Amino acid sequence: MIDPRVTKLANVLINYSTEMKAGEKVLIEAIDVPENIVCELIRLAREAGADPLVTIKNNRITRSLLMHSSDAQLQTIADVESARMKQVQAYIGVRGSANITELSDVPDERMKAYQKIWWRPVHGAIRVRETRWVVLRYPSPSMAQSAGMSTEAFEDFYFNVCTMDYSKMAAAMKPLQQRMEKTDKVKIVGPGTDLRFSIKGIPAVCCDGKLNIPDGEVFTAPVRDSVNGTVQFNTPTVYQGTRHENIKLT
């Protein structure tokens, strides 16, 4: 029996985030996640009248591909995935990992080749610009460990956040968005951080579960050349298998 929380999450992704319609195609890309979330995405996509395409990936296999890859091989993969991405109207990326640092020992030159030849043409140029897309991490023991929580407690926390009413959140964000769009000068002060800049005339964007799950930020950007000071990012993060922490910019 499928956990009802999984069904609720799949419903958010199909009917809210990507808003699948009859006759449309959705690519479901699942990386190191349980079969049940993929099965529910397929079922709910078909209930909406959409046609799901499914790709199952594994980070250990991806590591092996990258460790032993040639540029020509990466180009072939990119060509195949680009052709498929052009056929769909939506993309759902569900990403898990038993080991969040699985790609950490892939040589820099191969990671750069992967980004340039494979990822950017498929995802940066096509998926991001031409599809309705949403991506999310799926809970795993390694994520729970990183959060300093038990697996069960982390799953409870995860599903509570990821299955919330994002349409209600979207409405609640509007006052902050409006205030930010009326704001000129911003000052941020914290441990290791003393930063000043202007956001005058820069749009503020509500992140309300359409592109990422979980979600909840209202973001903008500084006026170019208005930034002055120092910022330190005090939350560690892992990107493509490499851990980054205490990054400081002046």
Residues 120 and 126: their CA atoms lie apart, in Å, by 8
> Is there a contact between 178 and 159 (Cβ–Cβ < 8 Å)?
no
Phi, psi of 249 (to 5 degrees): -125, 140
The three-state secondary structure class of 122 is helix
Tell me the per-residue pLDDT of 160-192, one tens digit each, with 9 for 90 and over.
999 999 999 999 999 999 999 999 999 999 999
The predicted model scores a pTM of 0.91
Domains and CATH numbers, the chain: 4-163 (3.40.1830.10), 167-249 (no CATH)
Cα 36 to Cα 7, 26, 57, 192, 210: the distances in Å are 9, 17, 15, 43, 22
> Is there a contact between 74 and 10 (Cβ–Cβ < 8 Å)?
no
pLDDT tens by residue, the chain, 250 residues? 899 999 999 999 999 999 999 999 999 999 999 999 999 999 999 999 999 999 999 999 999 999 999 999 999 999 999 999 999 999 999 999 888 889 999 999 999 999 999 999 999 999 999 999 999 999 999 899 989 999 999 999 999 999 999 999 999 999 999 999 999 999 999 999 999 999 999 999 999 999 999 999 999 999 999 999 999 998 888 777 788 888 899 9
Residues 161 and 131: their CA atoms lie apart, in Å, by 25
Residues 171 and 206: their CA atoms lie apart, in Å, by 10
Give the pLDDT confidence score for residue 241 in this predicted structure. 73
Give the pLDDT confidence score for residue 124 in this predicted structure. 97
> What does the buried/exposed string (b/e) look like for 150-166 if buried means 16 or more CB atoms within 10 Å of the residue's CB?
eeeebbeebbeebbbeb
Q: H or E stretch including 99?
A: none
Give the pLDDT confidence score for residue 25 in this predicted structure. 99
Residues 5 and 197: their CA atoms lie apart, in Å, by 42
